[in-house]
């Protein structure tokens, strides 16, 4: 996804990065969907084709699993994991987050970022500190930053050009327009 400041993000179904492998963050690549057949294969829901392409290993519930079968398309992938044979095993994994280590994610265009890079960024409206990004949430029409406010409470900031002026991942700073948000 490209945000208004020219950046791309990827979140889990709950809007959060999928977790971490040791100290390295994991990026959500989809979720285990319904079983496909009897051999343990399953559909991937909310797949991120960029992350799922050519993987031999994927993290399920934060643990590495070897992929031993691929089918379907990039938009509707079907996977089977080596240690989870049979339909019952696939059903038991249903809903589990699938993730890849950030280091194995494909490179992004200049000015783009992954959603996990935004967590912890300071949020400002010009010279006024507003708070800190907790996570990015997928909403029906766009993604939004969930911001913990300085004085308590939370603020949702839609990732649209009018609301987000700039994102500087290296400086860990996001500049927003509170007036646009009705504040």
Fold of 19-104: Elongation Factor Tu (Ef-tu); domain 3 (2.40.30)
Q: Spell out the domain ranges in the chain.
A: 19-104, 115-176
> What integer is the mean pLDDT of 13-41?
74
Its CATH class, for the domain covering 115-176, is alpha beta
Find the helix or strand (DSSP H, E) in which 117 lies.
none
The residue with greater pLDDT, 19 or 55, is 55
pTM exceeds cut of 0.85:
no
Judged by average pLDDT, the poorest of 9-13, 156-160, 176-180 is 9-13
Q: What is the pLDDT of residues 69-101, one digit of tens each?
A: 999 999 999 999 999 999 999 999 999 999 999
Neighbours of 79 (CB within 10 A): 28
């Amino acid at each position: 996804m490209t945000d208004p400041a020219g950046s791309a993000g990827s979140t889990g179904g709950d809007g959060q990065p999928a977790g971490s492998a040791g100290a390295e963050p994991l990026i959500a690549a989809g979720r285990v969907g319904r079983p496909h057949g009897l051999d343990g294969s399953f559909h991937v829901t909310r797949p991120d084709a960029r992350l799922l392409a050519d993987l031999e290993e994927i993290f399920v519930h934060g643990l590495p699993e070897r992929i031993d079968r691929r089918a379907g398309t990039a938009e509707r992938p079907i996977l089977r994991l080596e240690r989870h044979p049979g339909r019952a095993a696939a059903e038991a994994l249903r809903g589990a987050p699938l993730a890849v280590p950030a280091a194995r994610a494909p490179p992004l265009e200049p000015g783009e970022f992954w959603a996990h890079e935004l967590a912890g960024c300071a949020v400002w409206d010009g010279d006024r500190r507003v708070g800190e990004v907790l996570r990015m949430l997928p909403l029906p029409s766009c993604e939004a930053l969930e911001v913990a406010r300085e004085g308590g409470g939370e603020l949702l900031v839609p990732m649209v050009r009018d609301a987000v002026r700039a994102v500087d991942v290296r400086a860990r700073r996001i500049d927003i327009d509170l007036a646009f948000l009705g504040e």
